[in-house]
Amino acid sequence: MGPITLPPGFDCKGNLLPTGCSSNKESSKVCKLTKSLYSLKQASRQWFSKFSTTLLNSGFSQSRSDYSFFTRVQGSSFVVLLVYVDDIILASNDSQAISQLTDFLNTQFKLKDRGPLKFFLGLEVARNTQGISISQCKYALEIIDECGLLASKPAKFPMESNLKLSQSDGVSLEDPLVYRRLVGRLLYLTITWPDISYAVQKLSQFMAHPRQTHLDAAYRVLRYLKSSPGQGIFFSAAFELHLKAFCDSDWAGCPDTHRSITRYCVFLGDSLISWKSKKQQTVSRSSAEAEYRSMASTACELIWLLALLKDFNIEHPQAALLFCDSKATLHIAANPVFHERTKHIELDCHFVRDKIQDGIIRTLHINTQHQIANIFTEALAWGPF
């Protein structure tokens, strides 16, 4: 079959070119895109720019703490809007304001109103007069079923307390994608399962070269999920409006890098609203230094949450409480004098001390046995867990 000559106005793939464009390769003319197209690299940015501009022009204010969060106050009416790509949550103390906003957005964009919030980004939401419950039961059962563990025996806690995982343990997996996919799905599950945060954080360190012992530990997490797949987080409607945080650290907890682990959890009243279990970026020379780095990270989270409460028009006049079980760390935070043991963490020292002196944060000592953040610090046995 000989060469085919395309008629003028078509490109090499046979697509029709806009008027005025030539298919000649030597032509200096190019197509200028005047409107963003779906699936292009900048499409999501352009979409959010158009959506946020529409909201700002209609009287909304964009949060500085979270750019996907918008609020509008008109008299006694308060409207909150949260957007993730093209999924939107609306909340208000005025049902008429919700209806008007939905109609307005429907004139600007094509919307599908799915009614009261029950499902959002894989999260199952249930609400009653006592509070709001968030879970991922369907998602958890899908992971267990995919790994063929629906008939397995449930585990009481996610990881053995004496288990020390390392990069050199066990035999390498023939297909590491199985492990990577499983740990990636478990990471998303920690949104409503904070009690598996330590185990998943530990397992995520071996994504590059996973071994059989790592996969066995991941399967144990699944067996723990099977014990109560409908478990989630409950936000009580009756609570004291006061932020309380617990910070802890596992000094040199990683056997491969000897880096410490930062752990914290933050409560609004009795409701858990934020938590983290993450390896520190540098090696700490003492347990007090590791604890102080954890305290600085927790202080940053408290500052962000206070700013977010302000966007909700919620006043938090009292100081946020920060509990720590290290007396040495508390003395460093209260003592304005530097010495050779703390000068290399000067920025963290200044930051925490400034917040304490400004009355934003108040540090308190807590006994190690009552340290709630321990569940994010180490693999606990059944009793402490």
Give the chain's domain count: 3
Rounded Cα distance between 122 and 112, Å, is 18
- Beta pairing, strands 320-324 & 271-279: unpaired
Beta-carbon contacts of residue 243 (< 8 Å; ≥ 6 apart): 266, 267, 268, 302, 305, 306, 316, 320, 321
Query: Which residue from 217, 348, 236 is spatially nearest to 291, judged by alpha carbons?
Result: 348
pTM score of the predicted model: 0.81
Q: Are residues 104 and 140 located together in one domain of the fold? A: no
Q: Are residues 121 and 145 located together in one domain of the fold? A: no
Query: Which residue from 263, 260, 290 is spatially nearest to 275, judged by alpha carbons?
Result: 263
Q: Are residues 253 and 213 located together in one domain of the fold? A: no
Q: Are residues 64 and 106 located together in one domain of the fold? A: yes
Q: Are residues 144 and 209 located together in one domain of the fold? A: yes
Q: Are residues 318 and 356 located together in one domain of the fold? A: yes
Helix (H, G, I), strand (E, B) or coil at 41: coil
Residue 6 lies in a domain: no
Sheet (strand 243-250) strand order: 271-279, 261-268, 243-250, 320-324, 361-365
Residue 21 lies in a domain: no
Spatial contact of 170 and 241, defined as CB atoms under 8 Å apart:
no
Tokens of 20: 């005025």
pLDDT of residue 342: 57
pLDDT of residue 321: 94
pLDDT of residue 141: 93
User: What is the domain extent for residue 206?
Assistant: 135-227
pLDDT of residue 243: 94
- Domain boundary residue, one of 99, 128, 157: 128
Rounded Cα distance between 168 and 208, Å, is 12
Q: What is the CA radius of gyration of the chain?
A: 26
Query: Which residue from 262, 161, 145, 168 is spatially nearest to 214, judged by alpha carbons?
Result: 168
pLDDT per residue rounded down to tens, the chain (385 residues):
445 454 555 555 556 666 666 656 666 666 777 777 777 888 888 888 889 999 999 999 999 988 999 999 988 899 999 998 888 999 999 889 999 999 999 888 888 888 888 998 889 999 998 999 999 999 999 999 999 998 889 988 888 877 778 888 888 898 999 999 999 999 999 999 998 988 898 899 899 899 999 999 999 999 999 988 888 999 998 888 899 999 988 776 666 677 888 889 999 988 999 988 888 877 777 777 888 888 888 999 999 999 999 988 888 989 999 999 888 888 877 776 555 455 556 666 778 888 888 889 999 999 888 888 777 767 777 777 7
